[in-house]
Amino acid sequence: MHSINQKIILIFSSIISLLPSFIYSSNKTTDMPLEDKLIILCSDAPNKQLRIFCEQLHKSDIIARKYLEVAALRLEPKSAQECFNFLCMCKYFRGKVKKGICILPNGSHLKKSVRKEFRMLSDKEREKFNKILRIMKETGDYDRFAKQHRRVVVEGGAHSGPAFLLWHREFLKRFEITMRLYDPSISLPYWDSVLDSRIPKSADSYLFSNELFGETDNNQSVINGPYSPWRTLEGNQFITRSVGESGSCLKQKDIDTIMNKNGILNCLGYSTPKDVNL
């Protein structure tokens, strides 16, 4: 046992002794063929085994650096949806940048979105929002996003795990930018379900009325409102909505509990493949 430990120590000592030359030489052989690089970089290895180990180490390093160089390239966004700032988005809105401001063809400025709770929209804002949604449905943009979201629901990854918040944040950003390409003044509203958790029966919320989200019949089909009829990806003429049958609205204490956590692991769990017994 003693001799085995000595051999292990000797091997690690030899490896450590190779590290300075490994670090120093990596930048000196950049333009050489890979095989020539390995011969030079590992020529001072004390024995054959360590030379082979040294060559493997350098080979992995060289290959990894190639991938890192590719990953480090800054790829230009191919669409407005991929942008992260107004300067990038401006050309997709056919605008011109002057002094850091995107000026649109009609002379107005491209501004930040101001997201409101759906019930806080004015009648004009709500009509404009519903109009853009219908246009997106007609052009296929809406269904494209719907298919993308359905795919991650089925395959996993963006649901039931730590990617949930980040994935949906980017998804909503892209959806909102697509809406704004039709009307730059529009913003994506949100639903504050805490408001509805305070009424005795959340399903009775005014949201599920003809004026807002639409009412459902005994078959759970949305029969009126701005989203009826609305052909689904499955080919149904109406959206089906099981109002009040499962789940619940967020309560203020739920939000407070999450906001008071001091670590992400206390809020989100690891992704787990569906239908797998652990």
What percentage of the chain carries pLDDT values higher than 70?
A: 74
Hey, which residues does 102 pair with through a beta bridge? 97
Question: Would you kindly state where each structural domain of the chain is located, as residue ranges?
Answer: 31-74
Q: Which of 34-38, 89-93, 138-142, 204-208 has the lowest mean pLDDT?
A: 34-38
Residue 44 clears pLDDT 50, i.e. is over it: yes
Residue 16: per-residue pLDDT: 43
Rounded average pLDDT over 119-145: 97
| Helix, strand or coil, per DSSP, at residue 53 | helix
Mean pLDDT of the chain: 82
pLDDT per position as a tens digit, 92-117: 999 999 999 999 999 999 999 999 99
Confidence of residue 23 (pLDDT cuts 50, 70, 90): very low
CB atoms within 10 A of CB 255: 11
Confidence of residue 30 (pLDDT cuts 50, 70, 90): low
Q: What share of the chain is helix, strand, coil (3-state, %, to 5)?
A: 50, 5, 45
pTM of the model: 0.70
